[in-house]
């Protein structure tokens, strides 16, 4: 499959997955880590995976902030408090996925990706909440309290990451197995 067609196909898959954020899903049940891992595994260049994942997040955040959660926002909102911590975790997840898959996608590596992405997001986003200084004391006890308070959200993060990763990777693998012309030459499945 030509790289341009692969790029278009992968971009559409990522954007459709990101739009599911607008559905009424359980708390922290999100496609974004799966989008980052899928992009890292399938785009020919890491910068493409980062750019497309961030674009998907930004556009879906704008819709979430100004349509779904508009009553909680103070006017039109593009970026929210703490956005940089979450976006940094998405970039790190792409880099982690690119390192993990190295053009060879296996079920074990995909499961490690789900677990790693979940832990990365948990660590980074909760650290960001603590660093904001608005909810917890700026000491070790406050940091521990912040992480402890975040544990219930980890379940939704892990469940969402697993569901959407299986959907994206499994769905693409099943379709590309039936239509091998959809599989780019730089990817092997082991």
pTM to 2 decimal places: 0.88
Helix (H, G, I), strand (E, B) or coil at 137: coil
Query: How many other C-beta atoms are found inside a 10 Å radius of the C-beta of residue 120?
Result: 19
At 126 the pLDDT is: 95
> Residue 168 pLDDT > 90, yes or no?
yes
Confidence tier at 155 by pLDDT (50, 70, 90): very high
Tens of pLDDT, residue by residue over 43-80, are 888 899 999 999 989 988 898 889 888 888 788 888 87
Tens of pLDDT, residue by residue over 2-38, are 667 777 888 888 888 888 988 888 989 999 999 999 9
Helix (H, G, I), strand (E, B) or coil at 105: strand
Tens of pLDDT, residue by residue over 77-133, are 888 787 899 999 999 999 999 999 987 899 999 999 999 999 999 999 999 999 988
Query: How many other C-beta atoms are found inside a 10 Å radius of the C-beta of residue 28?
Result: 20
Question: What is the token pair recorded at 13?
Answer: 């898959």
> Residue 115: which of 56, 41, 165, 150 has the closest Cα?
165
DSSP label at residue 182: G
In a 13 Å sphere around the CA of 174, the CA atoms on its Cβ side amount to 6
CB 60 within 8 A of CB 21: yes
- CA atoms of 169 and 141, how far apart (whole Å): 40
Confidence tier at 187 by pLDDT (50, 70, 90): low
Helix (H, G, I), strand (E, B) or coil at 188: strand
The 3-state secondary structure of 4-69 reads HHHHHHHHHHHHHHHHHHHCCCCCCCCCHHHHHHHHHHHCCCHHHHHHHHHHHHHHHHHHHHHHHC
């Amino acid at each position: 499959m030509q790289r341009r067609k692969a790029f278009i196909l992968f971009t559409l898959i990522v954007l459709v997955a990101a739009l599911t954020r607008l559905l009424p899903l359980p708390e922290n049940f999100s496609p974004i880590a799966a989008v980052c891992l899928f992009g890292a595994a399938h785009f020919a260049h890491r910068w493409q995976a980062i750019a497309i994942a961030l674009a998907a997040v930004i556009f879906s955040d704008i819709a979430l902030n100004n349509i779904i959660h508009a009553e909680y926002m103070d006017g039109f909102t593009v970026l929210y408090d703490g956005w940089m911590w979450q976006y940094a975790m998405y970039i790190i997840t792409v880099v982690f996925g690119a390192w993990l898959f190295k053009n060879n996608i296996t079920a074990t590596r995909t499961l490690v990706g789900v677990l790693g992405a979940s832990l990365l997001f948990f660590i980074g986003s909760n650290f960001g909440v603590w660093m904001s200084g608005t909810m917890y004391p700026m000491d070790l006890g406050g940091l521990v309290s912040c992480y402890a308070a975040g544990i219930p959200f980890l379940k939704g993060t892990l469940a969402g990451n697993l569901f959407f990763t299986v959907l994206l990777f499994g769905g693409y693998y099943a379709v590309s197995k039936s239509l091998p012309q959809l599989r780019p030459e730089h990817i092997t499945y082991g």
